[in-house]
Amino acid sequence: MKRNRRGSLAFRETFWAGRLGIRGKILLYLLLLAGFMLSLVWLSQSAMLYNIYRASTQTQLNRAAETLQENLNHENLQELAEQIGEENDLGILLVNEAGETVLRGGRIRYTPLEDMSRETLADWKRRTEETDRPVTEAVSFQTGEDIASGREKEKEHASLPRSAINQYLMMGRQVSLAEGRGMLLMTARMSPIRATREAMTHQFVLMVIAMLIATGLVGFTMANSISEPIIETNLAARELSRSRYVRPPHSGGYREIAQLNDTLVQAAESLGRVEDLQRELIANISHDLRTPLTMIEGYAEAMRDMPDEVTPENMQIIIDETNRLSTMVNEVLDFSRLRMGNLELKKERLNLRTLAGEICERVSKMSAVEGYHVVLEPGEDCWVQADSGRISQVVYNLLGNALTYTGEDRTVRVTLERRPGRARMRVSDSGEGIAPDEIPYIWDRYYRSRENHRRAVIGSGLGLNICRSILEKHGAAYGVESQLGQGTTFWFELPLAEEQSEA
């Protein structure tokens, strides 16, 4: 089993050692974000730019074609075509049903529309007649060559470089002329998109380099500013095992780390207090056990060596010291069961007034020998649903605590009163009281007041903590009222059984 546990721990340490730290993760996430943004930019530039540009050009051609179609019979059609062609950088060709040119306008030179072959015109005519919608096609045209046949031509623009290939978007649509059906062909040059894409590609490379450098610098700075307080807090938290925690210098970097450090400071203080109380518990138990054991041993040896010492009084002393040992051991066992959640309650209907009277009578008889008095103010009957044994344990502990700390009059008062729906029991002493700074801790385990008191304290320091656990298990309210020099009152409330049955 131990080997498996060690193997599991070794695997866990190896696994976590291979994981990125907070600095690496922040930097990685920022780089991934930058890569994602750059991918979107690259996608828009490489794949979508051409499609967007083509769609815009096609819209431009459609608008120009609609304008011309509405004015086909206008006397200034030629001037309108020239104006539209110049403004939108379009080439315009209008032919009749026989393939004869009716109108040429715009920037038609050096475009596929210039001297288009009859075969190409016939192909476009056939395609436009097959559909009512405009026919659009992207074509490439090399200056000095016929787009349809590829034959070389000798034109006045043949001096241009033969490698200058231009791309055009050509659109054809059927129109109605005065003498019959005709076809309107229009071209828009798209070649500048290549140069734009090339320029944007170079720009994109520079953008990638700049963004990666900026992301690295910003990510490194951000990772350091975020991780430094966490790393410092982690290193400081290792001291918690020694109940020490020193707030690191950058603990206030941001709110969450400041709150975490406040929590760790409180945890360190609590651990330190628990360790002090545990040490005190060990010292108290050692001292308290030594006293009765010494007395039992001494009286037993005396009765063994001197038969005349075997008297009822000496035997009673041994019995009393044995009971004291049993009480301390039972407190520790009860505390352990309460902490483990193994303590089961056996609730029953009981009269709290009767229970308080019986306990007060017993304690009064035992304490009267030393001059202590327990005064009961029972009030009226109070029936509750509770575990009589555990509630008795609470009352005994509160009475024992009050007798230990009571004042010169050596009197403890027990009051029982009936309130709407609840029964309240109060146990009051006339001692020095509890300092305000100690009140929040009196219910804690191992706690014991530092104030001097007249009666020797016999106990483990677990009594009030056990009372609290039992009362909380019953769902009871409890508390303490104390003023220095005026005594202390412990109280608890249980729901009345009548109210429970009615509910």
CATH number of the domain that residue 422 is part of:
3.30.565.10
Domain that holds residue 302: 255-321
497 domain-assigned: yes
DSSP state of 441: G
**pLDDT (mean) for 23-43:** 78
172, part of any domain: yes
Residue 449: pLDDT band by 50, 70, 90 thresholds?
Answer: low
The 8-class DSSP code of residue 457 comes to P
SS3 81: helix
Give the CATH number of the domain where residue 301 resides.
1.10.287.130
464's enclosing H/E stretch is helix 463-473
Residue after which a domain boundary falls, among 287, 321, 355: 321
User: Are 223 and 90 members of one domain?
Assistant: no
Question: Hey, which bits of 265-337 come out as E strands?
Answer: none
Residue 308, domain member (yes or no)? yes
> Looking at residue 503, what is its pLDDT?
37
Confidence of residue 490 (pLDDT cuts 50, 70, 90): very high
Tell me, yes or no, whether 242 lies in a domain.
Answer: no
Asked if 89 and 164 sit in the same domain, the reply is: yes
Q: What is the pLDDT of residue 340?
A: 63
Q: Is the pLDDT assigned to residue 129 strictly greater than 80?
A: yes
pLDDT above 60: residue 398 = yes
Residues 355 and 474 in one domain: yes
- What pLDDT is recorded for position 336? 65
User: Do 224 and 371 reside in the same domain of the chain?
Assistant: no
Which residue is it, tokens 């009196």? Answer: 442
Q: Is the pLDDT of residue 456 over 70?
A: no
Q: Are 300 and 366 part of one and the same domain?
A: no
Answer whether residue 245 is part of any domain: no
Task: Give per-residue pLDDT as tens, 287-300.
Answer: 566 767 777 888 78
Q: Which residues contact 174 (CB under 8 A, 6 or more apart)?
A: 128, 129, 132, 181, 182, 183, 184
Range in 70-84, 115-129, 345-359, 449-463 the model is least confident about:
449-463
385 and 473 in a single domain? The answer is yes
Name the residue among 178, 181, 171 with its Cα closest to residue 71. Answer: 178
Q: Clarify whether residues 30 and 60 are in a common domain.
A: yes
Give yes or no for residue 67 having a pLDDT over 80.
Answer: yes
| pLDDT interval class at 52 (50, 70, 90) | confident
CATH number of the domain where residue 115 is located? 3.30.450
Look at residue 459 in the predicted model and tell me its pLDDT: 46
Alpha carbons within 13 angstroms on the beta-carbon side of residue 52 total 8
Residue the block writes with tokens 């049993």: 326
Lowest mean pLDDT among 9-23, 32-46, 202-216, 304-318: 9-23
| pLDDT at residue number 195 | 61
Task: Read off the pLDDT of each residue in 301-321 and give the average, rounded to a whole number.
Answer: 80
Q: Are residues 206 and 289 in the same domain?
A: no
Q: Which residues have a Cβ under 8 Å from the Cβ of 354 and sit 6 or more positions away?
A: 381
- Residue 11 located in a structural domain: no
| Structure confidence by residue, pLDDT tens digits, 363-389 | 887 777 788 888 988 888 889 999 888
| pLDDT digit string, tens, across residues 92-111 | 888 888 888 888 888 877 77
CA distances from 33 to 38, 43, 219 (A): 9, 15, 11
41-69 exposure pattern, b = at least 16 Cβ within 10 A, e = fewer = beeebeeeebeebbeebbebbeebbeebe
Do 38 and 143 have their domain in common? Answer: no
Residue 105's DSSP bridge partners are 92
42/335: higher pLDDT: 42
DSSP conformation class of 238: G
- Which domain-ending residue is among 204, 235, 266? 235
What is the side-by-side order of every strand in the sheet holding 180-189?
101-106, 90-96, 180-189, 165-177, 135-142
Q: Does residue 86 share a domain with residue 200? A: no
Same domain assignment for residues 360 and 472: yes
| 21, 227 Cβ separation under 8 angstroms | yes
Long-range contacts of 143-149, Cβ-Cβ distance < 8 Å, separation of 24 or more: 143/110, 146/115, 146/117, 147/112, 147/116, 147/120, 148/116, 148/117, 148/119, 148/120, 149/117, 149/119
Judgement on whether residues 145 and 182 belong to the same structural domain of the protein: yes
Q: Which residue has the higher pLDDT, 471 or 454?
A: 471
In the predicted structure, residue 153 carries a pLDDT above the cut 80? no
pLDDT cut 90: percent of the chain above it: 7
How many CA atoms lie within 13 Å of 314's alpha carbon, on the beta-carbon side? 15
Q: Which pLDDT does position 47 carry in this prediction?
A: 62
pLDDT at 15 over 50: no
Share the mean pLDDT of the chain.
Answer: 76
Alpha-carbon distance 406 to 454, whole Å?
A: 8
pTM: 0.43
**Domain for residue 332, yes or no?**
no
Is the Cβ–Cβ distance between 193 and 168 less than 8 Å? no
**CA 468, 472, 476, 480: dihedral to nearest 10 degrees?**
30
Q: Which of 146-155, 228-237, 272-281, 434-443 has the lowest mean pLDDT?
A: 146-155
How many domains is the chain partitioned into structurally?
A: 4
Helix, strand, coil percentages, rounded to 5, for the chain: 55, 20, 25
Tell me the C-alpha distance between 176 and 102, whole Å: 12
CB-based contact 393:446 (threshold 8 Å):
no
CB of 176 closer than 8 Å to CB of 72: yes
**What pLDDT shows up at residue 9?**
47
Residue 171 falls inside a structural domain:
yes
Distance CA 244, CA 237 (A): 8
Token pair 């305000």 is found at 436
